Amino acid sequence: MKQLTLLIVLVVLYCLPMQAQPGKGVRWSHDGQAYFKATPAGIEVYPLSGATATVKVPAAAFNGLPIRDFYFSADEKKLLLYTNAKKVWRYETRGDYWVLDIATGKLQQLGKGKPASSLMFAKLSPDGTKAAYVSEHNIFVEDLQSGNTTALTTDGTRRFINGTFDWAYEEEFGCRDGFRWSPDGKQIAYWQIDATKIRDFLMINNTDSIYSFTVPVEYPKAGESPSACRIGVADIRTAKTTWMQVPGDQQQHYIPRMEWVPGKNALIIQQLNRKQNESKVMLCDAATGKVRSLYEEKDSAWIDVKSRWDDDNIAGWDFIRNGKSFIWVSEEDGWRHLYNVNMEDSKVTLLTPGNYDVISIAKIDEANNTIYFAASPENPTQQYLYKVLLTGGKAERITPANQPGTHEYKISPYSNWAIHDFSNAVTYPVNENLQLPAHKSSTNAVMNAISKAGNAPNKPEFFDITTVDGVTMTGWMSKPANFDPAKKYPVVFYVYGEPAGATSLDAIGAGRNFLYDGDMAADGYIYVTIDNRGTPLPKGRQWRKSIYRKVGLINARDQAMGAQALMKKYSFIDPERVAVWGWSGGGSMTLNLLFQYPDIYKTGIAIAAVGNELTYDNIYQERYMGLPQENREDFVKGSPITYARNLKGNLLYIHGTGDDNVHYQNAEMLLNELIKYNRQFQFMAYPNRTHSISEGPGTFEHLSTLYTNYLRTHCEPGGK
């Protein structure tokens, strides 16, 4: 059972465009030679050398509080503990915080008089004498010695938000923690979000009370203006705020990034216009609020912010030379590359020339004049560690050539150690500590795991397929057990197909269907995925952005033509038994394939789909589709409900009624269209479940059983 549960978790992580929980980063020791980890024994120190772990802070010191997360002060003399965590939309970002003085043993709760589990993003001041946090949409600073608390803001409400963000900013930019201590600890810079003009979307809870009640979400739909946003700097001593004089209409622009500039009483921010195709980096004088433009960028489609390529992490700014310049990621030359932006004269220098994409920055090692980054120039389904000189030049691969798959590196503060995580389609996740830049491991855990998995049965086969449109796509295929090429087998396509995620990665989860109750290979199914244009593979800007204003059209055609090309190439695929399924954007894709290409796809299972693109949030939908006020017809053409009348095959549609992300109204709009044209289908609503349909006892088992039974009934398994 443990292995099954682990597999489900891993496949969800790798195959669905889910986001990672905040606060998951490594807690490095001050000297960079070890990392800290919370265990039942307390906070333990794990040397990167592999030496035995020791207890730094015993659990008894904090009365055995169940620790959700923790942070040490810069001098490691104080320990900030996060416990009793509760969800805010998707993530557990509010709870209780405690501070432990390690030398004296004093343990004190922050915000003691405030409601339980109401504190968010507590942070110790740079000198460790104070703590700041958000509670009920206001920002507070608490003196750790006296316990006195100062409110830096007092006007916060559910719709007027200080120090954190509204639903759309969190979901689409990865913005959650909305304040920053100044380096000298005398000021706090923060976001203020004014959602008072945003209409509430009302979800209905029919199950937790005899009388139903509504659950409001401030949710700007496509075509609606976003929340207004501004940046303030609060003086800790006076509690007075100086507002930054950022140009432009506050409700027609976004400010997804803001940090303090090292060594200056200044902020650096990134502002996007509403269409998100114009980006401006600006410097803000914290004392006067005056702002000047530093670097501007435009794109005919859209511009991705840091969280889109940095594992949903929007925080931080990659400064070098003591804040005199910074490293910037841009697709200006057609590939995602690294640039050095000089803050004194705004000169921009390309650092990673070549026809390949930088996937993400792993570490900037200024002491050794090196930038470590992830890339995979030869195979877009994989990921490896590269390095380049800080002055730019030819990239050098660090990951050994005999370790094919997906690699991630968490590099220590001084860049001489890394925690190396690895998996591929047949190798379960494994990690090891290794030394850089030699990539030397004392345990060889990754190589041993690769060798052990080398003879795994029923390996998924990776392929390239070219369609009649001349589009070449990557994918994988998992064949049935005891495969006989002379027989014809049913095929199940797993799809997503939007800019938020790729499915053809060479990582654990490839070839596995976490929702199927049983063994698809043993039952005689072929399982396939293909990544169409518009997915975030490292194949260049044109690949990713060709989907602009064509979501629901170009991606659906790529999938359909890819399926046709596969069936033409492989005679063992039975064209009469073709099924497709997906979740969220993949659910939308499933509907579009069933409705737009009914002669190809015979059975579909769509979960939590956007049936009408006009119902989804403005940040996501307008980024990829433009503004409905200007090109509404594109939204209509890309929406599955437009083609619902064309349904010929078998459809199972599933949605949670408490979905705050893709609202349940999508299900009812779709049902109305199908009913209008007398199209028969099966429908399952999960009461009060969210987008993940994970809440409540028995939910996953029920969903898995429903999915499996429907597939077996309408797409008969086995070779013929």
Q: Say if 435 falls within a structural domain.
A: no
Average pLDDT, integer, range 203-225:
96
76 shares a domain with 161: no
Q: How far apart are CA 290 and CA 527, in angstroms?
A: 58
- Residue 615 three-state SS: helix
82 and 196 part of one domain = no
First to last CA, the chain: 33
Q: How confident is the model at residue 12 (pLDDT cuts 50, 70, 90)?
A: very low
User: Are residues 79 and 215 located together in one domain of the fold?
Assistant: no
By DSSP bridging, strand 325-330 and strand 69-72 are: unpaired
Tell me, yes or no, whether 420 lies in a domain: no
- Dist CA 197 CA 542 (whole Å): 37
Domain assignment present for 22: yes
Q: Give the domain-ending residue among 312, 331, 346.
A: 312
Assess whether 98 and 162 both reside in one domain.
no
* Average pLDDT score, the chain: 95
> Does 376 map to a domain?
no
Same domain, 216 and 91: no
Report if residue 434 sits inside a domain.
no
- Domain boundary at 280, 312, 344, which? 312
Q: Which of 70, 104, 124 is the last residue of a domain?
A: 124
**Integer Cα distance of 591 and 548 in angstroms:** 20
Same domain, 595 and 478: yes
Q: What is the mean pLDDT of residues 132-136?
A: 98
Identify the domain containing residue 72 by its residue range.
Answer: 1-124
Average the pLDDT over 391-419 and give the result.
97
**Are 100 and 227 in the same domain?**
no
Q: What is the pLDDT of residue 456?
A: 80
Based on the structure, what is the number of domains in the chain? 3
pLDDT digits (tens, 9 = 90+) for 677-720: 999 999 999 999 999 999 999 999 999 999 999 999 999 999 99
| 163 and 100 fall within a common domain | no
Say whether both 682 and 589 belong to one domain: yes
Specify if 142 maps to a domain: no
Return the residue matching tokens 């002669």.
Answer: 599
Domain presence at residue 288:
yes
Cα-Cα-Cα-Cα dihedral sign, residues 451, 456, 460, 464 = positive
Distance CA 508, CA 514 (A): 11
Residue 92's Cβ-count burial label (10 Å; 0-12, 13-18, 19+) is: middle
Average pLDDT over residues 288-311: 95
- Residue 190's nearest CA partner among 232, 151, 245, 139 is 232
Share of residues in the chain with pLDDT > 70 (%): 97
Average pLDDT over residues 133-137: 98
CA dihedral 360, 364, 368, 373 (to 10 degrees): 0
24 pLDDT band, cuts 50/70/90, is low
Q: Based on the fold, state whether residues 188 and 285 are members of the same structural domain.
A: yes
- Residues 177, 74, single domain; the answer is no
CA 423/CA 112 separation, integer angstroms:
44
Does residue 482 surpass a pLDDT of 70?
yes
- Residue-level pLDDT at 90: 85
CATH number (domain holding residue 494): 3.40.50.1820
Residue 454 pLDDT: 81
Q: Which residue has the tokens 């700007």?
A: 220
In a domain, 627, yes or no: yes
CATH number at residue 273: 2.140.10.30
Q: Domain check: are 655 and 516 in the same one?
A: yes
